Amino acid sequence: MYTVNTCSRAVKGYTPAVLGFTPVNSRTPNSRSGRTRPPRPPRAERPPRPERPERPSREERKEATRRAIISAALTLLAERSFSALSLREVTRAANIVPAAFYRHFESMDALGLVLIDESFRALRETLRDARSGGVDPNRIIESSVEVLISSVAARPEYWRFINRERFSGMTVLRYAIRTEIRLITSELATDLARFPGLSGWSTEDLNILAGLFVNAMTVNAEAIEEAPDAEALAEIKHVAVKQLRMIALAAEGWRSKP
């Protein structure tokens, strides 16, 4: 630390100020260099920043909204027919504005057709799995009914929608359901032709036989979906197996003419 001294020298009437520094203590700036500072503790490593989740793309957001609309419609259809469903109800349940609906579907009819397509896609996948090894060949009828029960239990909303709209729904939906049932019947007829006893049947007879099986399974699926308890479900399974056996026994006595 230093103090400032002022000295005066008279030169012909002029007195300039002379500044001088007087040390107050013996510590000078140079004396500080002899001190040793303790080492600084190492800096703690910063934890890595968590990675930000990737934002979904525009297409992913669009598909998510589309799925939300379909899911909302299926939920609302649990207690009513499709014709009683309004666009505003669907969009409110899907948590979107009504205008956003038209970015995914042209109309409510278009939504209904998509619901039918998805419902029968699930049914076709079930039948395809059964044909590819999900059915025990030694008890094919019993195994087929068990596959049907599992399918209804997995996606009851699809079966409920099909059963309700098959006869009492809008015309465009009834026509689409009949078309899907014809496609499934045709696929089953192709499979039936591989059985030794049916290989010589005509295409017409194979389609008729396949239609009997498909209609019986569809009616039983409706009963399965409405079964109130396990006891009722067991009775439905018993009746379904007996129905299919009767159809199979009648087929054995039929003489098809190619």
CB 160 within 8 A of CB 225: yes
- Give just the sign of the alpha carbon dihedral 144, 215, 120, 191: positive
- Binned at pLDDT 50, 70 and 90, residue 132 comes out as low
- At 211, the amino acid letter reads G
Is the pLDDT at 74 greater than 90, yes or no?
yes
Contacting residues for 96 by C-beta, under 8 A, at least 6 apart: 65, 68, 69
- Binned at pLDDT 50, 70 and 90, residue 122 comes out as confident
Contacting residues for 250 by C-beta, under 8 A, at least 6 apart: none
Rounded Cα–Cα distance for residues 258 and 241 (Å): 29
Rounded to the nearest 10°, the torsion over CA 163, 166, 169, 174 is 150
Which whole-number Å values give the CA distances from 90 to 86, 112, 169, in the listed order?
7, 12, 18
CB 155 within 8 A of CB 183: no
CB 173 within 8 A of CB 112: yes
- Binned at pLDDT 50, 70 and 90, residue 4 comes out as very low
- Give 17's strand partners: 8
Tokens of 197: 């006893």
- Binned at pLDDT 50, 70 and 90, residue 6 comes out as very low
- Per-residue H/E/C for 149-218: HHHHHHCHHHHHHHHHHHHHCCHHHHHHHHHHHHHHHHHHHHHHCCCHHHCCCCHHHHHHHHHHHHHHHH
Contacting residues for 221 by C-beta, under 8 A, at least 6 apart: 148, 151, 152, 159, 163
Over residues 238-245, mean pLDDT: 94
CB atoms near residue 71 (< 10 Å): 13
Residues 168-226 have pLDDT tens digits of 778 899 999 999 999 999 988 998 898 888 889 999 999 999 999 999 988 999 899 99
CB atoms near residue 94 (< 10 Å): 22
Rounded Cα–Cα distance for residues 150 and 192 (Å): 23
Is the pLDDT at 31 greater than 60, yes or no?
no
The pLDDT, as a whole number, for residue 60 is 87
In terms of Cβ atoms closer than 10 Å to its own Cβ (0-12, 13-18, 19+), residue 13 is exposed
Q: Which residue did the predictor score with more confidence, 1 or 88?
A: 88
